[in-house]
């Protein structure tokens, strides 16, 4: 098994970053179109019509504003995404664990590149880029 672990920092408040992770319209601006709701057990989809991608998700953990976890199932991957947030002073720390990859192969590396790219978009959405 291979697990992806990435850390990010923001100048925005933990509440603002949490909102960007859990509000469907805001998620659409930096991840993809979706029908996400931060409710444990909610089943939803993330959709990118340009590349014909549908990711099925089910919300596993909602601990506002500190932890959010959901399944991420699309194409060849059946994984779990977990975001952990912590605020210290003026800085919000965001930790991503994307777990369940078979190996550090194409899907793993694609997810790593993809999340790094998506979080750059998140910085723009938060007005930090």
User: What's the confidence (pLDDT) of residue 104?
Assistant: 94
Q: Given this model, what pLDDT does residue 1 score?
A: 87
CA distance linking residue 1 with residue 91, whole number of Å: 32
Find the helix or strand (DSSP H, E) in which 71 lies.
Answer: strand 67-74
pLDDT attached to residue 27: 98
Write the DSSP symbol of residue 93: E
Confidence band for 76, pLDDT divided at 50, 70 and 90: confident
Q: What is the mean pLDDT of residues 111-118?
A: 96
Give percent of the chain with pLDDT exceeding 70.
100
The residue among 129 and 62 whose pLDDT is bigger is 62
Matching residue, tokens 């959405």: 125
Residue 87 predicted with pLDDT over 90: yes
**What single string gives the DSSP state of each residue in 26-57?**
HHHHHS-EE---SSTT-EEEEEEGGGTEEEEE
| Residue 129 pLDDT class (50, 70, 90 cuts) | confident
Answer yes or no: is pLDDT of 75 > 90: no
Across-strand partners of 46? 34, 55
């Amino acid at each position: 098994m291979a697990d992806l672990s990435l850390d990010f920092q923001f100048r925005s408040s933990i509440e603002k970053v949490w909102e960007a992770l859990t509000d469907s319209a805001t998620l659409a601006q930096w991840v993809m179109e979706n029908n996400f709701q931060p409710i444990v057990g909610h089943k939803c989809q993330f959709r990118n019509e340009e590349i014909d991608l549908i990711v099925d998700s089910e919300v596993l953990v909602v601990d506002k504003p500190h932890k959010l976890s959901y399944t991420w199932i699309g194409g060849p991957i059946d994984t779990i995404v977990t975001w952990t947030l912590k605020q210290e002073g003026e800085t919000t720390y965001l930790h991503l664990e994307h777990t369940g990859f078979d190996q550090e192969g194409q899907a793993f590396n694609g997810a790593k590149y993809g999340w790094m790219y998506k979080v750059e978009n998140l910085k723009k959405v938060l007005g930090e880029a």
